[in-house]
Amino acid sequence: MKIGLLTGGGDAPGLNGVLESTCRALLLRGHSVLGILDGFEGIFDGKTRPISLRDVQGIHCNAGTFLGTSNKTATKGRENEFLEKYAELGLDGMVVAGGDGTFAGLKAFEKSVPIIGVPKTIDNDLSGTEVTFGYDTACSVVAEAADALRATADAHRRLIVVETMGRTAGWIALGGGLASYADAILIPERPFSRPALIEFIRNRRAQGQRGMIVVAAEGAAAKDERAQVAFEVAGSPQKERYGGVAQTLARWIEKETGWESRHVVLGHLQRAEHPTTSDRFLTLKMGVEVAAMIEEGLWGHAVVYRQGNLCRAPLMDLMAPAKLVDPNHQWVQLAQKLGLFI
Ligand code: F6P
Ligand 1 mean position, distance from CA 10 (Å): 6
Among candidate residues 100, 123, 136, 183, the one labeled active-site is 123
Nearest ligand 1 atom to alpha carbon 242: 8
pLDDT at 19 over 90: yes
Neighbour count for residue 274 (Cβ, 10 Å): 16
pLDDT at 33 over 90: yes
pLDDT of residue 188: 98
Q: Please tell me the distance from the alpha carbon of residue 98 to that of residue 101, in angstroms, as a whole number.
A: 8
pLDDT of residue 74: 80
pLDDT of residue 72: 82
Strands 93-98 and 115-119: parallel
Q: Please tell me the distance from the alpha carbon of residue 209 to that of residue 158, in angstroms, as a whole number.
A: 10
Mean pLDDT for 216-221 is 98
Ordered DSSP codes for 55-77: HHTTGGGSSS-TT---SS---TT
**What angle do the packed helices 15-28 and 277-295 form, to 10 degrees?**
40
201 within 8 A of 193, measured Cβ to Cβ: no
> Which residue, judged by its Cα, is nearest atom 14 of ligand 1?
10
pLDDT digits (tens, 9 = 90+) for 288-305: 999 999 999 999 999 999
User: If pLDDT is split at 50, 70 and 90, which confidence band does 132 have?
Assistant: very high
Q: Please tell me the distance from the alpha carbon of residue 154 to that of residue 76, in angstroms, as a whole number.
A: 51
The number of helix segments (H) and strand segments (E) in the chain equals 12, 13
Burial class (CB in 10 A: 0-12, 13-18, 19+), 232: exposed
Q: Which of 166, 151, 145 is nearest to 266 (CA)?
A: 145
Q: Please tell me the distance from the alpha carbon of residue 341 to that of residue 319, in angstroms, as a whole number.
A: 33
What is the total residue count of the chain? 342
Q: Please tell me the distance from the alpha carbon of residue 225 to that of residue 101, in angstroms, as a whole number.
A: 25
Query: Does any ligand 1 atom lie closer than 6 A to the CB of residue 241?
Result: yes
283 within 8 A of 95, measured Cβ to Cβ: no
Question: Is the pTM for the entire model greater than 0.95?
Answer: yes
Domains parsed from the chain with CATH numbers: 2-134+275-319 (3.40.50.450), 137-271 (3.40.50.460)
Tally of CA atoms within 13 A in the half-sphere of 289 that contains its CB:
20
Neighbour count for residue 6 (Cβ, 10 Å): 28
Task: Write b or e for each residue in 68-93: b if 16 or more Cβ atoms lie within 10 A of its Cβ, otherwise e.
Answer: bbbbbbbbeebeeebbebbeeeebeb
pLDDT at 238 over 90: no
Which residue out of 7, 135, 167 has the highest number of ligand 1 atoms within 8 Å of its CB and is therefore the one to mutate?
167
Q: Which of 66, 7, 3 is nearest to 42 (CA)?
A: 7
pLDDT digits (tens, 9 = 90+) for 94-117: 999 999 889 989 999 988 999 999
Q: Please tell me the distance from the alpha carbon of residue 334 to that of residue 328, in angstroms, as a whole number.
A: 10
pLDDT of residue 110: 87
Nearest ligand 1 atom to alpha carbon 233: 15
Query: Does any ligand 1 atom lie closer than 6 A to the CB of residue 120?
Result: no
Active site residue 123: yes
The secondary structure of residue 181, as a DSSP letter, is T
The dihedral region occupied by 89, where left means phi > 0, alpha psi between -120 and 50, and beta the remainder, is alpha
pLDDT of residue 317: 94
pLDDT at 218 over 90: yes
Query: Does any ligand 1 atom lie closer than 6 A to the CB of residue 121?
Result: yes
